[in-house]
Chains A and B, each alone.
Chain A
C-alpha cells in the first residue's frame, strides 16, 4: 500500500509531475548520450592505437622507450625465432616483426624525409588495407614496393605505378639506396606523420639497411584488457629463456592515452554532477511544494499514530518513484537518441587528423545504468529535506491550520 500511495501521490498533480519527469528524463537522456559518446571515443582511440601499435611489443628496452634508434639494438633472426616461439604460447595472439628506418625519398624533382616501416605484408597488411586510398597493399616480403602516405605522395607528385628512389643509412653507417615502385597510398590518423610515412616489405627494408634482424615484434591479442597480464607473463618467459628483451603494452607505448582517458573521465564526471544538480534542484522545488500541500494529510496520519519515520520513508519513496519513472523515460530516450544519432552516420575530421572519423555513441547497459541510478539517487536526495520537514511537523498545530 505504501508504494501504491506513493505512486498515486506522484500522479496527483499531473502538470507538476510531468515537469519533474521531463527534467529527469531529459537529464538521463543527455547523460547517457554523453557517456555513450565518451565510451565510444575511448574505445575507438583504443582500437586505432592497438591496431597501430599492437597490444604488446617486444624489443630492446631502449628502442621501445625511444631512447635509441632501432638500428642500434636489433633482434637477431635466432632471437626472433625464440621470441616468436614464446609468443605463440599466448592464446589467440597474432605476431608480426617490424623494422623502422629513417631516410630520404625522392626523384630528380626533389626529395624529402622518410620514416619507413618495414612490415610483413601477409602478417599485417590487412590492418592497413582500410587506410589505403589508392592502389593496392604490399604484396610480398621481398618486393621493391612502397605504400606512401597520401600527403607524402602528394608532395612528391607520385601515383601508384610511379617509381621513386629511397635512401637510408645502413647498420654499418654507410648509405644505401634503391628504386621502388609505388603501389598504393594510405591515410594515417596523424597528418604530420603521413607527410613522411611509407610502408615497405620487411625483406626489402632489411636489405636496404643491410641487416637480417628486426627492430621489434608486435603482438595483437583478442582482449586488449589482458595486455598487462600478458606482459608480465611474457617478461617472465623471456627471462627464463635468457633473452634480455623488454615487453611494453600499447598503453605503455602511448602515454597520452592515459591523459585522454583522464580527460574523458573528468568530462563524464562533471556532466554527471551537473545533471545530478539539475535534477536535484528541480525535483527539490517540485517536491517541496507538493509535500507542503499535504500538511493536513500528514498531520492526520501522524495523529492516527503513524510514526514520523514512516511518513518520511513514504516521502522518499515518492521521490524515488518520480526518479524511477523519469529515469526509465530517460533510458528509453537515451536508447532512442543514440540509435537515431548513430543512424545519421555523422563523421568529423579530428584536429591534426586526416581521415573523417565516424562519430558514434555507445548505447548499452554501461551508458544507461549510471544515469538511471543517478536519477534515482538525486530524487531520493531531493526528497530528504522536504520529507523530513513535513514528516516532523507539529501535529496539533498542523491540524488546526485550515
Chain B
C-alpha cells in the first residue's frame, strides 16, 4: 500500500455518517451544532468540507475521527457502526486506522521531529528497525530530510505541519482527518501543504478528509462539501486540481 500509487480498495466505504446530530447544552440553551448530517467517504477519496466559522466543521470532524460521539445518528467506520464500541475500542481504531492533523500542529514539544513521528508507532508492537525505517521514509516524503533531530520550536510552521502529516501517516491508516491544516500558515505555505496532502493521497491510497474555511483549500480536493449551520448544503466535484 506504501507508495505504489495504486489503490486496490478504491471505492470501499471508509467513513460514513448517517443522520448524525450533535447538540451542545449551553446552560439551559441547546445548540444544535450538527443537524442530521449524512456523509460518506471511500478509500482513496479526498474530501474537503468547507464552511464558515461556527458552521459545525470541527464538530463533524471529531465525530468522524471517533473522538466524540453524536447525540443522534450513527458513524460507521469501514462499514461498521461505532456507537456501541467502548472507549478502548475507539482508541484502538484511532491509533490503528485513523490519522489526525490539527490546525495548531499539536506536536509534542519535548520530542524531536523524528520522535514525534515515531510516537504513534510505540503502541503498535513494531520492531525498532521497522519504526525507524518508516519514520525515515516518511520524513523524506514530506520533505524534512535531515531535520529529524530538530525540536518543534526549531522548525517553521510549514515544517511543523509536515511533521504532523508524517505522524498522521506513519501508522498507515485508512483515513487522515485534518482540521483547518492551513489556518496557521501563510498562503504560500498553505498551498504547499495542500499540494503535499494531494500527492500523499495519490501515493498512499489513504482517504483524506479536510475541513476548512480557507478558500484556497477546496481546489485540491476531489470532492467539496459545503456546510452551513450544521447542515451539508451541497456537494461538488473539482475538475481542475492544481498539479
Interface pair B123/A300, CB less than 8 Å apart? no
CB distance from B99 to the nearest CB of A (A): 8
Interface pair A399/B67, CB less than 8 Å apart? yes
Query: A358 at the A/B interface (Cβ < 8 Å)?
Result: no
Query: B237 at the A/B interface (Cβ < 8 Å)?
Result: no
Q: A395 is contacted by which of B67, B96, B118, B122 (Cβ under 8 Å)?
A: B67
What are the residues of chain A within 8 A of B58 when measuring CB–CB? 400
Interface pair A1/B67, CB less than 8 Å apart? no
Interface pair A301/B68, CB less than 8 Å apart? no
Interface pair A396/B94, CB less than 8 Å apart? no
Q: B122 is contacted by which of A1, A12, A296 (Cβ under 8 Å)?
A: A1
Chain A 282-305 near chain B by CB (<8 Å), digits 1 or 0 = 000000000000001100111111
What's the Cα separation between A77 and B67 when bound, in Å? 93
What are the residues of chain B within 8 A of A307 when measuring CB–CB? 88, 91
What are the residues of chain A within 8 A of B167 when measuring CB–CB? 304
What's the Cα separation between A258 and B93 when bound, in Å? 63
Query: A306 at the A/B interface (Cβ < 8 Å)?
Result: yes
Main secondary structure of the interface of B (DSSP, over half): helix
Query: B189 at the A/B interface (Cβ < 8 Å)?
Result: no
Interface pair A303/B108, CB less than 8 Å apart? no
Instruction: Please tell me the number of chain B residues within 8 Å of chain A, measured between CB atoms.
Output: 29
Instruction: Name, among A12, A306, A308, the residue most crowded by chain B CB atoms within 10 Å (CB to CB).
Output: A306
* A8-B110, A9-B110, A297-B106 known; A305+B118 contact, CB < 8 A: no
Query: A5 at the A/B interface (Cβ < 8 Å)?
Result: yes
What are the residues of chain B within 8 A of A304 when measuring CB–CB? 94-95, 100, 119-120, 167
Instruction: Please tell me the number of chain A residues within 8 Å of chain B, measured between CB atoms.
Output: 24
Chain A 1-21 near chain B by CB (<8 Å), digits 1 or 0 = 110110011001000000000
Q: Name the CB-closest residue of A to B177.
A: A303
What's the Cα separation between A395 and B92 when bound, in Å? 15
What are the residues of chain B within 8 A of A2 when measuring CB–CB? 122
Interface pair B68/A5, CB less than 8 Å apart? no
Query: A310 at the A/B interface (Cβ < 8 Å)?
Result: yes
Instruction: Name, among B68, B93, B96, the residue most crowded by chain A CB atoms within 10 Å (CB to CB).
Output: B68
Query: B65 at the A/B interface (Cβ < 8 Å)?
Result: yes
CB distance from B94 to the nearest CB of A (A): 3
Q: Which residues of A contact B (CB under 8 A)?
A: 1-2, 4-5, 8-9, 12, 296-297, 300-308, 310, 395-396, 399-400, 402
**10 tightest A-B CB contacts, nearest first:** A305-B95, A305-B94, A8-B110, A396-B68, A300-B106, A396-B62, A305-B91, A395-B67, A396-B67, A307-B91
Q: Which residues of B contact A (CB under 8 A)?
A: 58, 62, 65, 67-68, 87-88, 91-96, 98, 100, 102, 104, 106, 108-111, 115, 118-120, 122-123, 167
Q: Could you list some 14 contacts between A and B, CB below 8 A?
A: A1-B115, A8-B110, A9-B110, A297-B106, A297-B109, A302-B91, A303-B100, A304-B94, A304-B95, A304-B120, A305-B96, A395-B68, A396-B67, A399-B67
